[in-house]
Copies of this chain bind each other. A is one copy, B any other.
Amino acid sequence: MSVDEESRPARAKRLPREVRERQILDAAVTVFSQHGYHNASMDEISDVAGVSKPMIYAYLGHKEDLFAACIRREASQLMAAIADGVHAEAPPDMQLWHGLRAFFRFVGDQRESWRVLHRQATSQGGPFSEELLAMRTRAITLVDALLVRSATSRGHTATQSTEALAAALVGAGESLADWWLDHPDVPEKVVASWLMNLVWMGLGNLVDGAVWTPTGE
Chain A residues at the B interface, C-beta cutoff of 8 Å: 35-39, 92-93, 96, 115, 118-126, 147, 150-151, 154, 156, 160-161, 163-165, 167-176, 178-180, 183, 186, 191, 194-195, 198-205, 207-209, 212
Q: Are A195 and B168 touching (Cβ within 8 A)?
A: yes
Q: List 14 A-B contacts (CB under 8 A).
A: A37-B123, A119-B124, A122-B123, A122-B178, A160-B183, A164-B183, A164-B191, A165-B203, A168-B176, A168-B179, A171-B178, A200-B202, A202-B202, A202-B204
**Docked complex Cα distance between A209 and B118 (Å):** 33
Q: Are A203 and B96 touching (Cβ within 8 A)?
A: yes
- Tell me which of B121, B122, B209 contacts A154 (CB under 8 A): B209
Q: Which residues of B contact A121 (CB under 8 A)?
A: 122
Q: Which residues of B contact A207 (CB under 8 A)?
A: 92, 147, 150-151, 154, 156
Copies of this chain, count: 2
Distance of A123 from chain B, by nearest CB (Å): 3
Q: Are B203 and A212 touching (Cβ within 8 A)?
A: no
Q: Which residues of B contact A35 (CB under 8 A)?
A: 124-125
Q: Which residues of B contact A195 (CB under 8 A)?
A: 168
Q: Are A208 and B154 touching (Cβ within 8 A)?
A: yes
Which of A167, A180, A199, A209 has the largest number of chain B CB atoms within 10 A?
A: A167
Q: Which residues of B contact A179 (CB under 8 A)?
A: 163-164, 167-168
Known: A39-B126, A208-B154, A209-B154. A160 touches B186 (CB 8 A): yes
Q: Which residues of B contact A204 (CB under 8 A)?
A: 93, 200-202, 212
Q: Which residues of B contact A198 (CB under 8 A)?
A: 165, 168-169, 199, 202
- Tell me which of B36, B156, B163, B172 contacts A169 (CB under 8 A): B172
List of 8 A-B pairs having minimum Cβ-Cβ separation, nearest first = A171-B175, A202-B202, A123-B123, A36-B125, A167-B179, A172-B172, A38-B38, A168-B172
Which of A115, A171, A179, A208 has the largest number of chain B CB atoms within 10 A?
A: A171
Distance of A156 from chain B, by nearest CB (Å): 7
Distance of A146 from chain B, by nearest CB (Å): 10
Which of A163, A174, A203 has the largest number of chain B CB atoms within 10 A?
A: A203
